Amino acid sequence: MELTTLLEIKNIETFYVLIYALRGVSLTIDEGTITAILGNNGAGKSTILKTVMGLLDDQPDKGTIEFMGKRIDGKDTEDIVKMGISYVPEGREVFEELTVRENLLMGAYRRHDRLGIKDDFRKIYNLFSVLENREGQLAGTLSGGEQQMLAIGRALMNRPKLLFLDEPSLGLSPILVKQIFGIIKAINKEGVTMLLVEQNARMALSISDLGLILENGRFVMKGKSKDLMLDKDVQEFYMGMKSEASAKGYQRWKRKKRWR
Amino acid sequence: MFVQLFISGIAFGSLYALIALAMVIIYKTSEVPNFGQGEMAMLSTFVAYALLENYGYSFTISFTGSLLFAALLGIFLEFVFLRRAKEPNVLSLMLITLGFQMILYGLASWKWGADQRNLAFPVSDFDTIQVGSAVLSYLNIATILITLILMFILFLFFKYTKVGIAMKATQQNAVAAKINGIRTNRILSITWAMSSVIGAVAGILLAPIATLDPNLMMDPLIKGFASAVLGGMTTLVGAAFGGYMLGIIENLFGGYVSLEFKSVVAFGIIVLVLCFKPSGLFAKHYVRKV
Ligand SMILES: Nc1ncnc2c1ncn2[C@@H]1O[C@H](COP(=O)(O)OP(=O)(O)OP(=O)(O)O)[C@@H](O)[C@H]1O
Ligand SMILES: [Mg+2]
């Protein structure tokens, strides 16, 4: 099967004024895949997404980003969105004083195909039936889980080729996490390529093709998700599983060292 | 007498409501009370005057030209001055709008001097009709109607048009607006144009009953600002009601208590609101996330 590259990040470095947040990050995303980025708090996961979306002024400081063969670093966020990248930010960021329907409509802001938009409303209401029932309700009055669904639905209204999801499981009950990840997988099957940032390593690896681990602004590990899931370090540090007691102290030190 | 004071209060209140609306629209998007609002309207009114008197154009062309000028002026000021401020805070933005106020006032004084002029208007301020026990001039009625029509258009705009909804979206969360592809800079331009046009309408309606000089909008601006504060600064409905309330209260005060101190009412109301309900009478319960 021939894979085409959708997004190519080459050696980007990002600063928040003096804070050196991304220290040379490279990443290639192939069409149709789900890529998961794991990492501890403050590792720089969200910063990668924000940098690609052009949300950080004058960043990346170094490196290049190409989407479908075109340079997008330095472009306005609005144009990057129009090219076909949608972004579900950490913490949802729905428009609280707009209704559910208006929120979804804003997702399609740059589209002009009335019929297609109508179609997509249908699709999203099929995917998230709660949203249809709450169509006229203000988004700020939705529950956290409903807001997450709305944020995903809104991002899909752009008919993205590539979808960024920043911690979609944050603050959701285990059942809802399962449901949302099921839907994410289903959306991917429809042909939407995904880049997923997650703390919930088990879930993320279980639906993704490729996994990367970020520490202090650098990728320290990369591999097929199913391989990572079996990796002892990943299990121990990201999935909270304990390795055998006898070797633990020694292994911990050794592996940590290798990662830095 | 009460009915008379009440109804002519509504006519004045309409003007305050327009100015309040203009200020709130900008406040919600740029997060600054625009102290240049009055002078923007005053200058636009002078443009109407110049087109009418100096160039001899018709009312239609002159007023349309004036509103067009107002729109461009709003876009220009926002683009050239406000947008340059990097990581601005409210104080620096306020200072910039005070700068507009001084520049525009200076410009008008230099071009038109301190002469008191009179802006002609197609509807007479002297012909009156009897409404119940009150007497209203045609101009009063035109003012009330035009204001209502404008408010209705605004209502439709924010409720049913894509740009109107995008404007609300940008006001609520600019970053989220961007990641939906909304050009927030363009929304800012539209906001300033709209606001400036609404202010200019107030100026054109006011000039025929006041005297047209660079001080035209000084007093009304403070009243409009007071109305907006009364309504809550963040709601258009509140701003409109605030305007009407102030117009009516002020007129009743002038009629029954003291004509000399009529102008103090606006100030008194600002103080009272700030003491008892700082968020304004109509403020929504949402706390804005910055
Ligand atoms: N606006 C900002 N200004 C200054 N520093 C920032 C800013 N945003 C993030 N940082 C810093 O950059 C680093 C990476 O932050 P980032 O938000 O990308 O982490 P993350 O991996 O997404 O963490 P989490 O899992 O907690 O969301 C952190 O050290 C953070 O403190
Ligand atoms: Mg994050």
**Ligand 1 center–CA B176 separation, angstroms:** 18
| Exposure string over A52-90, b if 16+ CB within 10 A, otherwise e | bbbbbeebbeebebbbbeeebbebebbebbbbbbbbbbe
Distance from the B86 Cα atom to the nearest Cα atom in chain A, whole angstroms: 11
DSSP state of B121: -
The ligand placed nearest to the CA atom of residue A55 is 1
CB B240 within 8 Å of CB B231: yes
Residue B34 has a CB neighbour count (10 Å cut-off) of 32
**pLDDT value of residue A65:** 93
Architecture in CATH for domain A1-84+160-175+190-260: 3-Layer(aba) Sandwich (3.40)
Greater model confidence, A153 or B108: A153
The mean pLDDT value of chain B amounts to 87
ipTM value > 0.95? no
Lowest-pLDDT range of A138-142, B255-259, B286-290: B286-290
Q: Does residue A109 have a pLDDT over 90?
A: yes
Q: Average of pLDDT values for A130-142?
A: 91
Q: How confident is the model at residue A2 (pLDDT cuts 50, 70, 90)?
A: low
3-class DSSP assignment, residue B137:
strand
In a domain? residue B239: no
Residue B246 within a domain? no
Whether B193 is covered by a domain: the verdict is yes
Compare A127 and B68 and report the one with higher pLDDT. Answer: B68
Residue A258 has pLDDT above 70, yes or no: no
Tokens 């910055």, residue located: B290
pLDDT of A230 strictly over 90 = no
* Per-residue model confidence (pLDDT) at position A195: 94
Q: How far is CA B106 from the centre of its chain?
A: 20
Report pLDDT for A253.
41
In this complex, the residue of A55, A102, A106 whose CB is nearest that of residue B182 is A106
What mean pLDDT is predicted for residues A27-42?
Answer: 91
Averaged pLDDT for residues B124-143: 84
Chain B: closest CA distance from residue A88 (Å): 9
| For B180, nearest residue in chain A (alpha carbons) | A107
Residue B261 placed within a domain: no
The counts of H helices and E strands in chain B are: 11, 2
- Among the ranges given (A10-24, A25-39, A221-235), the one the predictor scored with the smallest mean pLDDT: A221-235
pTM exceeding 0.80: yes
Question: Is position B137 within any domain?
Answer: yes
Q: Among B28, B29, B179, B287, pick the best mutation site for testing chain A contact (most A Cβ within 10 A).
A: B179
pLDDT given for residue B14 in this prediction: 94
For residue A250, pLDDT beyond 60: no
Give residue A241's pLDDT band: very low, low, confident or very high (50, 70, 90). Answer: low
Residue-level pLDDT at A240: 67
pLDDT, tens digit, for every residue of B8-66?
Answer: 899 999 999 999 999 999 998 888 889 999 999 999 999 999 998 888 888 888 899 99
Model confidence at A254, pLDDT cuts 50, 70, 90, reads very low
Please, are residues B259 and A113 in contact by the beta-carbon 8 Å criterion? no
CA distances A27 to A7, A19, A162, A209, Å, are: 8, 22, 14, 14
Residue B89 lies in a domain: yes
Least confident window among A11-15, B28-32, B163-167, B278-282: B278-282
Dihedrals phi, psi of A255, to nearest 5 degrees = -65, -45
Q: Measured between alpha carbons, how far apart are the two ends of chain B, in Å?
A: 48
Q: In chain B, what percentage of residues exceed pLDDT 70?
A: 97
Residue in B142, B227, B172 with CA at minimum distance from that of residue A140: B172
CA distance A82 to chain B (A): 6
Q: Could you state, in order of their start, the residue ranges of all structural domains in chain A?
A: 1-84+160-175+190-260
Amino acid A192: pLDDT: 92
What is the number of domains present in chain B?
1
**Segments of A135-230 assigned E as strands:** 162-166, 193-198, 210-215, 218-224
Residue B88 included in any domain = yes
Residue nearest to atom 5 of ligand 1 (CA): A16
**C-alpha to C-alpha distance for B145 and B93, rounded to whole angstroms:** 34
Among B177, B202, B204, B179, smallest CA distance to B190 is for B177
pLDDT for A242: 57
In percent, the amount of chain B with pLDDT more than 90 equals 41
Preferred mutation among B180, B190, B235, B287 to probe A, highest tally of A CBs within 10 A: B180
Q: Are A38 and A219 in contact (CB under 8 A)?
A: no
- If one residue of A47, A53, A90 were mutated to test the ligand 1 pocket, choosing by the most ligand atoms within 8 A of its CB, it would be A47
Domain region containing B51: 2-217
Mean pLDDT of A213-242: 77
Q: Kindly list the protein residues whose Cβ atom lies closer than 6 A to any atom of ligand 1.
A: A 16, 19, 21, 39, 41-47, 90, 199
**Residue A3: per-residue pLDDT:** 67
Confirm whether B264 is domain-assigned: no
Predicted local distance difference test score (pLDDT) of residue B2:
85
Residue B197 pLDDT level (bands cut at 50, 70, 90): very high
Lowest mean pLDDT: which of A46-55, B1-10, B147-156?
B1-10
Which pLDDT score is estimated for A122? 92
